[in-house]
């Protein structure tokens, strides 16, 4: 099975260190800052098999070539955005598989934040790598896609098993909680979850991964009942 650990990089980004427990095969997700990423890989044994890229933004891909050169890992990213990603050894799209040791990840196309955004779901271990599509208590901005595309992408992620661990690209949870509490003040599950997040962050700990069950209960962007309501919520968050 796959285990996932966040590696804090840049201002508020997370790279994710994935490990297949049967074989020790290791992957890094979105290694935008080489030094802390290499330190985390070396601390875990110095093995790197794969680099997984969620989307083309610099705060996700910047360190890719340096990490590839250092470890010789294979780079996996969206075929649809190959022209603006680092050189891909395995271009992928909807439904493709990614093999890490004895574990398989499935690629889910999740357009909205960017055109070629992809998520990776590893059922064995219940790990979802979702980049800047789904955040804890929030979602990515609509920089390239429509509200309808983003809503559909989020609904697909929300349909994964409840115990799925949501491994997103940024530590935005506390600021997302402020908007979520403003948008959905009567939600007791949200209030309880926001308090847990406050305690974790006050202790200097990451708020993620979160559980998909908690996101379904507390994340206003997953609770929007239709595209129109989702689009309204996203526009209000942009101005908040």
Whether residue 209 has a cis bond before it, omega within 30° of 0: yes
What six digits make up the tokens of 145? Answer: 């896609």
Which residues are catalytic, by number?
55, 57, 59-60, 113, 132, 170
Shortest distance in whole angstroms from residue 131 CB to Fe ion = 7
Distance in angstroms (rounded) separating the CA atoms of residues 82 and 99: 20
Q: Which residues of 85-119 are buried (b: 16+ CB within 10 A; e: fewer)?
A: bbebebbbeeebebebbebebebbbbbbbbbbbbb
User: Considering beta carbons, is residue 132 or 214 the nearer one to Zn ion?
Assistant: 132
> What's the burial of 34, exposed, middle or buried (CB within 10 Å: 0-12/13-18/19+)?
middle
Binding mask 50-69 for Fe ion (x = CB under 5 A): ---------x----------
Residues numbered 93 to 132 that lie near Fe ion (CB under 5 A) are 132
Number of residues that bind Fe ion (CB under 5 A): 3
User: Considering beta carbons, is residue 1 or 10 the nearer one to Fe ion?
Assistant: 10
Shortest distance in whole angstroms from residue 140 CB to Zn ion = 6
Residues numbered 90 to 149 that lie near Zn ion (CB under 5 A) are 132
- Which of 57, 170, 223, 237 forms a contact with Zn ion (CB under 5 A)? 57
Q: Which residues bind Fe ion (CB under 5 A)?
A: 59, 132, 169
């Amino acid at each position: 099975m796959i285990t996932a650990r966040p590696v804090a990089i840049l201002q508020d980004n997370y790279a994710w260190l994935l490990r297949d427990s049967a074989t020790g095969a290791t992957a890094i997700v979105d290694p935008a800052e080489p030094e802390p990423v290499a330190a985390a890989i070396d601390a875990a044994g110095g093995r790197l098999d794969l680099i997984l890229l969620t989307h083309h933004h610099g705060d996700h891909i910047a360190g890719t070539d340096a990490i590839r050169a250092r470890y010789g890992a294979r780079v996996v990213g969206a075929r649809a955005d190959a022209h603006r990603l680092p050189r891909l050894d395995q271009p992928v799209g909807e439904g493709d598989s990614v093999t890490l040791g004895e574990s398989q990840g499935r690629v889910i196309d999740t357009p909205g934040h960017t055109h070629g955004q992809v998520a990776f779901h590893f059922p064995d271990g219940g790990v979802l790598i979702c980049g800047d599509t789904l955040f804890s208590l929030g979602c990515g901005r609509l920089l390239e896609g429509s509200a309808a595309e983003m809503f559909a992408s989020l609904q697909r992620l929300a349909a994964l098993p409840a115990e799925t661990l949501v491994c997103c690209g940024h530590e935005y949870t506390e600021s997302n909680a402020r908007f979520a509490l403003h948008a959905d003040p009567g939600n007791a599950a949200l209030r309880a979850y926001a308090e847990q997040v406050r305690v974790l962050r006050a202790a200097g700990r990451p708020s993620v991964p979160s559980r998909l069950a908690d996101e379904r209960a507390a994340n206003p962007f997953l609770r929007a009942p239709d595209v129109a309501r989702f689009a309204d919520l996203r526009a209000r968050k942009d101005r908040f």
